[in-house]
Structure 1
Amino acid sequence: MREFSLPALYEVPADGNLTDLVRRNAAQHPDTAVIARKDDSGGWQDVTARRFLAEVNAAAKGLIGAGVQPGDRVALISRTRYEWTLLDFAIWSAGAVTVPVYETSSPEQIQWILGDSGATAVVVETPAHAAAVEQVRAALPALKHVWQIDDGAVEELGRLGQDVSEDTLEERARSSKADDPATIVYTSGTTGRPKGCVLTHRNWFAEAGNAVERLGPLFETGRCSVLLFLPLAHVFGRLVEVAAMLAPIRLGLVPDISNLTGELASFRPTLILGVPRVFEKVYNSARAKAQADGKGKIFDKAAATAIAYSRALDEPSGPSFGLRLKYKIFDKLVYGKLRAVLGGRGEYAVSGGAPLGERLGHFFRGIGFTILEGYGLTESAAATAFNPWDKQKIGTVGQPLPGSVVRIADDGEVLLHGEHVFTGYWNNAAATEEALEDGWFHTGDLGTLDEDGYLRITGRKKEIIVTAGGKNVAPAVIEDRIRAHALVAECMVVGDGRPFVAALVTLDEEFLGRWCAENGKPEGTTAAGLRDDADLLAAIQSAVDDGNAAVSKAESVRKFRVLPAQFTEESGHLTPSLKLKRNVVAKDFADEIEALYRR
């Protein structure tokens, strides 16, 4: 199939903007908790729709009082927290445009984004962020204001807005129309300078409205809740914020995942949004704990049963009597405990950012926690395809967002069309012209559509490796399989113009200590000290063998090298959304790659 679409389920307001959501919630659900914030003791404090609107209005008046004009760009540099969402809606209520910046950004990156967007104001979270802005402020002549959340930014905005009238606020809040920019989200920049994707209020209404309608049971007001720990500077995290407010359902915001298990237990969400690595770690940690407690064989049998049970759900006959009996036993022994780790009320998760893999998809559905895999880009306001709750097809990224079209070009590239697709790159007509052709966005991803319109992503056009033998290899398939192993943090396949495919592998430092203890290695042994260890190489080889099982012989990894340290954002090898900067890795580890092909 070359093209597939679904009819729209949500009608975008003709002249509305995203501030309509908080005003509507306050009018229709005034006492409903729409958002929860962390208090000083680490507990959750609910904020009602009425109170949230009041706080948004107060901050918006402050922005107006400070001189922020309609259409001005206001940047946000902060972790995911209550104030991020409060200020996002306040910026929109002042008629301005939000420019999110990752809180891990360097001064050079901050200078580029604030300078390119022409930001007139920025709200930062910490003194370190303020110092980073100050370091480059001389190169930012348009920047007039810097406020710091940890130094009373919200309170200061409240004081600045004391003389702004309700009429002025109302006029500003209604000044932006559906086709006006709501935000400029800068791409992670795996190559070159990040580009600013202009996303309008219409884009977000079409995206969030149709997603909420299609995933109805996941967004029931008064019953459902979602815990967000993804960065709000990332488009996926932003979709969660807007969709939760549109539904509305209770939204919890967590600044980091260092205590994710504890946050899940205290908030007890019905819905979780995450990337595959989060779910891989849940599985790997549970399995490692079972092994440490001498229950590894029981866990492995339970996992195999869960996967078999999930697969049987897709068969007309369903699970057999014997399988249902085994499932009941393991539900009491294992699955119930795993669901408790996920908060106890969790029913669904939505996963994006990278392929989840069929094994994990079937495992989690088998334990009673369904992960719906999706696919999207910054340019499509996050999800452009996702698995529907009632018609999941594990191994795919689902059907197109209702109201949009997915087309597969002759060369296999995935093309997108719909109201959720961005309008262009800020101040970059050449890049816009290259990406958008007759209203179709060229994603750069390769994929296929099945007879039911379910999309599979098979790789990136620019990442295709052509071996010396002329074989085209899409790295994503085998990399994702190898990365699923508990010991593997990252895997990058190489082999362009080479006689065979090989791989660079980094170790998961969090899991490495546990592996060392289980395999008799000295405590504190590092990846650098183990990279030539026979036992470790055998474990990584098993991961490579599993990856090779998913591809042809010509595409399989013949050799690999374990690197002495993980790829990180700080090292410059990962983007803030944890995507590999392949060109940087290839340059920095050129000697390691050469060693793979040395006779």
Structure 2
Amino acid sequence: MTYKTPIEILVQRSQSHPDKPMFYQPVNRQWQVTSWQEAETQARQVASGLLSLGLEKGDRVAIYAKNSVEWYISDWAIMMAGLISVPIFATANAQTIGFVLQHSGAKAIFVGKLDDLEATAEVIDGRIPRIAYPYQTLQADHQWSDWLQQNEPLAALHTPALDDDMTIVYTSGSTGEPKGVVLSYRNYASACTENQLWLAVADQDRILSYLPLAHIVERGVIQGPGLYGGATFYFVESLETFVEDLQFARPTVFVSVPRLWTKFQTGVFAKVPAERLAKLLRVPLLGRLLAGKIRRGLGLDKARLMGCGSAPISPSILSWYQTIGIDICEGWGMTETAGLSCSNLPFRADRVGTIGTPAKCVDMTLSDSGEILVRGEAVFSHYYLNPEETERNFSDGWFHTGDKATQSADGVYQIIGRVKDTFKTAKGKYVAPVPIESLLAANPDIDQLLVMGSGRKQPVAIVVMAEHLHDTNRDQLRSSLQETLDRVNATLESHARLDGIVVVTDSWSIENELLTPTLKIRRNQLEERYNSIAQQTQTKSVIWQDELTV
């Protein structure tokens, strides 16, 4: 099939509605508006600036910044100039940044909004040209604002073949060094085209761009389909203003990750305890009014489509959101598949807890061992400069995803974990932690959790309690956790039953490298951190870390 590239779509839509707002961005709490025509013109000017650096077709250009109008525009400018983009997570450490720049051979880098300027200044030290977005950022050789004032818009835009390389996206990686996934224009355009139709994104839609653009969820499910559908994008100024900016945007399409959906839920419970709220929601008129108030408070009262991806989410959380009128379509995809590849879309309540059925741009099947295999126009062809890893992950044209799933008779897939996450207990029995973690997550008091037990007689759960409960009486929380433990164990085979729950007091974050930039747990790091705790003999089935006998 012939697809249109992002630049073709940008130019086409700019011509059809030049004055329509494309971007709303808060700067010092003032909302700045950029039209479609202004965005195209700026992209052409930045493309001219890139070529003035002596860059040639196929050279790689990195983008290291939080989400912003400039991120989008520089991405398109790189395409216009015939170059290849290399996004880097704004939360990446110096070691990761250095690896990506060296491995990709980047010839220039855009730098923008960042939380920690000092941590990465040494690695982004001027060996390649630095172009600074108009915010407080790293020292740079060129300024975005100067390029917009000085450069003429590039007249002759690069016209790529669909099978040309468009971008190299380095996986955030929960283990080992990141791999560079090479996505072609065909991969990206097929995913964006099909997902725009699947999500029904159109001119009137408003979308909040806040998940990292270095991750395929934001780039392939938000930026791409939003561009192809002609939507209007809104941004967030900071973590502190997130709720306020979300309420201003009132998005019609909103996609998040499990960690944030859980945070939203615990934020509601911090104001109204879960049991009391459940009773109030069951009162006919009061329940509808209260549910509407919660949706407005979250800024989601205008959302017609809501999604969740990047990691498994507990069905119990999805079911709770249904009680306040929020139907969340769980989806699945990978960097290697250019974004969304399977989803419970349109939403069906009887499919909660599944990832639904595949998108039209991919074929999916299961191996004999239950691993998801995928192929199609959206699926990448190789890892950058890593033929061994490429060969290891492909067979007979199928990409081995590493995710295990089941498939129902009507073609619906349900993720049951990662192939590599399964561990063996001291009894020689294998345990898949993800389904157990999903069951435990039904307890709203639990904020973060990990099931582990390699070499242990029985698995054990390590949990972090919700922040607003840190000063709550332990006996009360212990009772709640014990009920959850008993309920979960009653559903498990004997070898998978949990020996107990250990409550730890430290939090898991991107900063302490226990979460990936997309808020997935780094299982290996967590298991190493808590191995000594997990191996201890417990005197109680629910116990706090400081109560353990050392």
Please indicate, yes or no, whether the TM-score normalized by the shorter chain is above 0.5. Answer: yes
Correspondent of 1:538 among 475, 479, 503:
479
Match of 2:443 among 485, 488, 492: 485
Separation in 2, partners of 1:184, 1:544: 44
Q: Deviations over 1:180-214 (max 9, x none)?
A: 12111111122211111111111111111111112
Give the equivalent residue in structure 1 for 2:24: 36
CA contact (8 A) 2:27 2:237 kept: no
Q: Which residue of structure 2 lines up, in the alignment, with residue 340 of structure 1?
A: 296
- Contact 2:259–2:519 (CA under 8 A) maintained in structure 1: no
Instruction: Mark the CA change 1:460 to 1:128 in structure 2 (over 3 Å): closer, same or farther.
Output: closer
Distance in 2 between residues matched to 1:273 and 1:408, nearest whole Å: 27
Q: 1:310: which partner in 2?
A: none
Instruction: Give 2:259's match in structure 1, choosing from 277, 286, 307.
Output: 277
Preserved contact between residue 123 and residue 153 of structure 1 (Cα < 8 Å): no
CA distance in structure 1 between the partners assigned to 2:325 and 2:208 by the alignment: 18
Mapped contact 2:180–2:384 kept (Cα < 8 A): yes
Determine which of 290, 300, 303 is the counterpart of 2:272. 290
> What is the percentage of aligned positions where both structures have the same residue?
29
Alignment check: 8 A CA contact 1:271 1:346 kept: yes
SS of residue paired to 2:160: coil
Q: Does 1:85 align with 2:81?
A: no
The answer to which structure, 1 or 2, has the higher relative contact order (CA under 8 A, 6+ apart) is 1
1:236 counterpart letter in structure 2? V
Shift of 1:544: 3.4
2:156 aligned with 1:154: no
Corresponding residue number in structure 2 for 1:416:
374
SS of 1:194's equivalent in the other structure is coil
| Aligned partner of residue 589 in structure 1, secondary structure | helix
CA gap of 1:549–1:66, structure 2 versus 1, over 3 A, is farther
Give the stretch that moved more between structures: 116-125 or 281-290.
281-290
Larger deviation, residues 153-162 vs 261-270: 153-162
Aligned counterpart in structure 2 of residue 376 of structure 1, from 307, 329, 333? 333
Q: Distance in 2 between matches of 1:537 and 1:39?
A: 45
- Shift of the 267–422 alpha-carbon distance from structure 1 to 2, 3 Å rule, reads same
SS in 1 for 2:32: strand
How far has the Cα of 1:554 moved from its partner?
2.9
Q: What is the SS of the residue equivalent to 1:448?
A: strand
Question: Displacement of 1:327 after TM fit?
Answer: 4.1
Q: Does 1:500 align with 2:458?
A: yes
Deviations 1:384-413 (A, max 9, x none): 101222656211111101132110110010
Judge conservation of contact 1:413–1:444 (CA < 8 Å) in 2. yes
* Cα distance in 1, alignment partners of residues 321 and 310 from structure 2: 18
Alignment partner of 2:311 out of 354, 363, 367:
354
Q: Give the total of aligned pairs.
A: 531
Using the TM superposition, give the Cα deviation of residue 269 of structure 1 relative to its aligned residue in structure 2, in angstroms.
Answer: 0.9
Q: Which amino acid aligns with 2:278?
A: D
After TM superposition, give the deviation of residue 458 of structure 1 in Å.
0.5
Structure 1 residue 570 corresponds to structure 2 residue 511: yes
1:586 corresponds to 2:542: no
Counting only pairs closer than 5 Å after superposition, residues 16-31 of structure 1 correspond to structure 2 as: 16-31=4-19
In structure 2, the CA distance between the partners of 1:547 and 1:20, relative to structure 1 (3 Å rule), is farther
- SS of 1:197's equivalent in the other structure is strand
SS in 1 for 2:306: strand
Please tell me whether residue 118 in structure 1 is matched to residue 105 in structure 2. Answer: yes
Which residue, out of 193, 197, 200, partners 1:209? 193
1:256 positional shift = 4.2
Deviation at 1:250, TM superposition (A): 1.0
CA contact (8 A) 2:62 2:85 kept: yes
Structure with the largest fraction of helix: 1
Structure 2 residue ranges without an equivalent (≥5): 137-141, 540-548
Alignment of 1:228-377 (within 5 A): 228-239=209-220, 240-291=222-273, 298-303=276-281, 305=282, 326-332=283-289, 334-343=290-299, 344-377=301-334
Amino acid at match of 1:362: S
Give the 5 Å matches for 1:112-191. Answer: 112-125=99-112, 131-136=118-123, 143-149=127-133, 150=135, 153-159=143-149, 161-162=151-152, 169-171=154-156, 173-191=157-175
Shift of residue 559 of structure 1?
1.6
Q: 1:107 is matched with which residue?
A: 94
Deviation larger for 469-478 or 539-548 = 539-548
What is the match of residue 139 of structure 2? none
Q: Residue 485 of structure 1 contacts residue 543 of structure 1 at CA under 8 Å; is this kept in 2? A: yes
- Residue 470 of structure 1: how far off its partner (Å): 3.6
How far apart are the structure 2 equivalents of 1:430 and 1:351?
A: 32
State the 1:38 CA deviation. Answer: 1.5
Counterpart code for 2:186: R
- Cα distance in structure 2, aligned partners of 1:552 and 1:175: 58
SS of structure 2 residue aligned to 1:595: coil
Change (3 A) 1:362 1:499: same
2:163 partner amino acid? D
Distance change (3 Å), C-alpha of 1:278 and 1:569: closer
C-alpha distance in structure 1 between counterparts of 2:316 and 2:121, whole Å: 48
SS at match of 1:113: helix
The answer as to whether partners of 1:44 and 1:267 remain within 8 angstroms in 2 is no
Query: CA contact under 8 A between 1:59 and 1:90: conserved in structure 2?
Result: yes
Provide the alpha-carbon RMSD of the alignment: 2.4
Partner of residue 207 from structure 2, selected from 215, 222, 226: 226
Contact map agreement 2:112 2:132 (CA 8 A) in 1: yes
Structure 1 residue 281 displacement after superposition: 2.1
Q: Of residues 361, 364, 374 in structure 2, which corresponds to 1:406? A: 364
